[in-house]
C-alpha cells in the first residue's frame, strides 16, 4: 500500500511539471503574440512612411531622371517666357538635388514594409502553432488531472497524507511581523500570506485559487511588479541570490528543471501554493527536499 501512495505522489509531482510546462507555453504564446503585434505595427509604420512620399513628388522625381522626363531643352521649348524658363529650370535643379534622397527613401520604406510584414506573418504563424500545442497539452492535462484524482481518492486517509507530505511539504503557523527589505517585496509578502488557506488549483492565478507560479505572480502584481505565470520563466527574473542570502520576498525554486516556486518569508520558511488537496500554506524550505535556486525580484 505504501507503493500505491508513492506512485500517486509521483503522479502528483509529474502533474505539476506538466502544469508548469503548460503555463510556460502560455507565456511564450503571449510573447509571440506581442511580437506579431509589434511587427504588424512596424509594417504599418513603414507603409505610412512609404505613403508619405506623395504622388506629386514621386512623379517629379521620376520625371527628372527617366527618358520621358524633362530636359533643359524641353524646359526651353515649352517655356512661355524667360521668367517661366528660369522658374522651371530652378524647379528641375531642385528636383535633381533631392532625387537621390527621395528615391532612396522610397526604396528603404518599401523594403522596411516588406520585411516587417514578413516578420509579422512569421510571428503570427509561430503564435498559432504555440496555441495549437497548448490546446493539445491542456486537453491532455485535464485527462491527467481526472486520472490523478481517481488514484488519490482510492487511497486510504493515511496514504493521502503521505502523498501530501511528499510533495506539499510540512505546514507551519503563519508568522506575524514579517519584514521585507523593500516596499515592493513587503507588499508581495503581505499579499502572499493573505492567501493562506486558499485552495490549490492547477493553472489558477487567483484571486481565490492558485497554483505555485500563479500565487507568486499574483503577489508581486499587487506590488506593481509583472511576473509571467510560469515557475520556469520566473526563475529567470530578477537577480540570483544564494540560499544563505535569502530575504523575505525572494522567490525560491524547486526541482531540476524548475517546476515549483514559493516565496521566502524569513526564518527558513516560505509561503507557497503547494499541491492539489492542500491550500496555500507556510512551510519550511527543507520540507520540500528538492531546493534548486532563488531570485530576488525586489529589494
Residues belonging to the active site: 212, 260, 272
Residue 273 and residue 192: Cα distance in Å, rounded?
9
Residue 211 three-state SS: coil
For cell 520540507, the residue is: 287
Residues with Cβ within 8 Å of 140's Cβ and at least 6 positions away in sequence, in order, are 18
Tell me if 271 sits within 8 A of 280, measured CB to CB. Answer: yes
Tell me if 252 sits within 8 A of 270, measured CB to CB. Answer: yes
Q: Cα(first)–Cα(last) distance of the chain, in Å? A: 47
3-state SS track over 216-278: HHHHHHCCCCCCCCCHHHHCCCCEECCHHHCCCCCEEEECCCCCEEEEEEECCEEEECCCCCC
Residue 283 and residue 168: Cα distance in Å, rounded?
8
Identify how many contiguous H helices and E strands the chain contains and give both numbers.
Answer: 8, 6
> Phi and psi at residue 269, in whole multiples of 5°?
-115, 160
For residue 248 the three cell numbers come to 523575505
Torsion, Cα 214 26 138 272, to 10 degrees, reads -20
Amino acid at each position: 500500500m505504501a507503493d500505491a501512495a508513492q506512485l500517486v505522489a509521483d503522479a502528483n509531482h509529474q502533474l505539476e511539471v506538466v502544469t508548469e510546462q503548460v503555463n510556460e507555453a502560455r507565456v511564450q504564446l503571449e510573447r509571440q503574440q506581442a511580437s506579431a503585434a509589434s511587427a504588424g505595427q512596424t509594417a504599418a509604420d513603414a507603409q505610412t512612411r512609404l505613403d508619405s512620399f506623395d504622388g506629386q513628388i514621386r512623379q517629379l522625381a521620376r520625371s527628372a531622371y527617366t527618358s520621358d522626363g524633362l530636359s533643359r531643352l524641353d524646359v526651353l521649348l515649352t517655356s512661355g517666357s524667360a521668367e517661366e524658363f528660369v522658374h522651371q529650370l530652378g524647379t528641375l535643379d531642385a528636383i535633381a538635388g533631392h532625387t537621390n534622397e527621395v528615391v532612396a527613401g522610397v526604396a528603404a520604406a518599401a523594403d522596411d514594409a516588406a520585411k516587417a510584414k514578413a516578420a509579422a506573418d512569421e510571428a503570427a504563424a509561430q503564435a498559432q502553432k504555440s496555441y495549437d500545442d497548448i490546446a493539445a497539452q491542456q486537453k491532455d492535462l485535464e485527462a491527467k488531472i481526472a486520472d490523478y484524482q481517481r488514484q488519490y481518492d482510492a487511497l486510504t486517509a493515511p496514504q493521502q497524507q503521505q502523498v501530501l507530505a511528499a510533495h506539499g511539504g510540512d505546514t507551519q503557523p503563519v508568522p506575524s511581523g514579517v519584514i521585507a527589505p523593500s516596499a515592493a517585496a513587503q507588499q508581495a509578502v503581505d499579499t502572499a500570506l493573505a492567501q493562506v488557506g486558499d485552495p490549490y488549483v492547477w493553472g489558477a492565478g487567483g484571486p481565490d485559487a492558485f497554483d505555485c507560479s500563479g500565487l507568486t505572480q499574483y503577489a508581486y502584481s499587487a506590488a506593481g511588479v509583472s511576473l509571467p505565470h510560469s515557475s520556469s520563466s520566473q526563475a529567470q527574473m530578477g537577480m540570483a541570490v544564494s540560499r544563505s542570502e535569502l530575504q523575505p520576498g525572494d522567490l525560491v525554486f524547486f526541482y531540476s528543471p524548475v517546476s515549483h516556486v514559493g516565496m521566502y518569508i524569513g526564518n527558513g520558511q516560505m509561503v507557497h501554493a503547494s499541491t492539489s488537496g492542500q491550500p496555500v500554506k507556510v512551510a519550511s524550505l527543507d520540507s520540500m527536499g528538492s531546493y534548486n535556486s532563488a531570485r530576488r525580484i525586489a529589494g
